[in-house]
Amino acid sequence: MTHSMTGFATAEQIAPAGRLTWELRSVNHRYLEISLRVPEEFRVLEPDVREVLGSRLSRGKIDANLRFTPDPAARSNELNLNAPLAEHLLELHDRLQGMAGLKQEPDLGRLLNWPGLVVEQPPDPGPLHDAAMQALADALIGLSAAREREGRKLAALIRERLDGVAEQGKVVRGLLPEIRASLEDKLLKRVADLPLPLEPGRMEQEVTLMLQKIDVAEELDRLDAHVSEARRALELDKPVGRRLDFLMQEFNRESNTLSSKSVDARTTQAAVELKVLIEQMREQVQNIE
């Protein structure tokens, strides 16, 4: 199935800590280029995100943006008491009282400000990261579907142009016998007007040489072969953009040769029509993965 490189999709996951939203945009590009924008707490997921995108997409410029909206009611960081340190500080307080000969209750407010006495424990990021990756998978399914829908449209347009190319090839092939006969007749008339007769066999040589110069049978055969290959490529269940791009170059080569060998206004017009159809296909192929 032919896929376009153009598409857009979003997906959302609601996690206990808040809402996660992925936006994926893709446009045509020669290779696969991934641009990520994620909140700081999700930076650790970047290698996994790139691996997931690379496993499903082969070409295109991908903009992947993750938005995280925290839930105000969600559980915040936990505060834990460093019990061993607290016990040690209280022991030191008692020893200092004994040494000073004074009796004074510990100042708990000041003790709480002691570095390391209160340990802040952030929530486990695992569930939130899992939700982010699930949202990414959902968004990627939507993006692939959008690229597939666009790809079907592009394939239909290209098939129409391929039919046009095949038709122009038939037109030129049908004109060749008439063009050959007309050229041969013109050459015979010119020879008849010469004041001196030609050497034996010279006439046949000249006719043969001229017909060889205008012969485009091989070009037409190759054009038909390129049409068949392009149609086959459009049915493949894998990326075919580069294959089609190469075929467009081959189409151009054959149309240029047809134009250069043309000695009749009708075949020249057919060559022009071929160039128009090929250029229209080339524009569409630039968007195919």
DSSP states of 49-113: HHHHHHHH--SEEEEEEEEEEE-TTS---EEEE-HHHHHHHHHHHHHHHHHHT------HHHHHT
Q: What is the pLDDT of residue 109?
A: 78
Ordered by start, the domain boundaries in the chain are 7-73+125-147, 78-121, 150-285
79 vs 271 pLDDT, higher one: 271
Tell me the pLDDT tens digit for each residue of 205-231. 655 556 566 678 888 999 999 999 999
> What's the CA gap between 187 and 95, in Å, rounded?
126
> What's the CA gap between 271 and 172, in Å, rounded?
9
Instruction: Flag whether pLDDT at 57 surpasses 80.
Output: yes
- Burial of 142 from C-beta contacts in 10 A (0-12 / 13-18 / 19+): middle
Q: What is the pLDDT of residue 75?
A: 60
Confidence band for 280, pLDDT divided at 50, 70 and 90: very high
Q: What is the pLDDT of residue 203?
A: 55
Q: What is the pLDDT of residue 83?
A: 81
Bridge partners (DSSP) of residue 24 are 9, 64
Instruction: Flag whether pLDDT at 58 surpasses 70.
Output: yes
Q: What is the pLDDT of residue 64?
A: 97
Confidence band for 1, pLDDT divided at 50, 70 and 90: confident
Instruction: Flag whether pLDDT at 12 surpasses 90.
Output: yes
Q: What is the pLDDT of residue 11?
A: 96
Average pLDDT over residues 41-48: 94
Average pLDDT over residues 58-68: 95
Name the superfamily (CATH) of residues 7-73+125-147. Answer: Imidazole glycerol phosphate dehydratase; domain 1 (3.30.230.40)
For residue 173, what are the contacts with CB-CB under 8 A and spacing of at least 6? 217, 220
Instruction: Flag whether pLDDT at 237 surpasses 60.
Output: yes
Mean pLDDT for the chain? 86
Confidence band for 183, pLDDT divided at 50, 70 and 90: confident
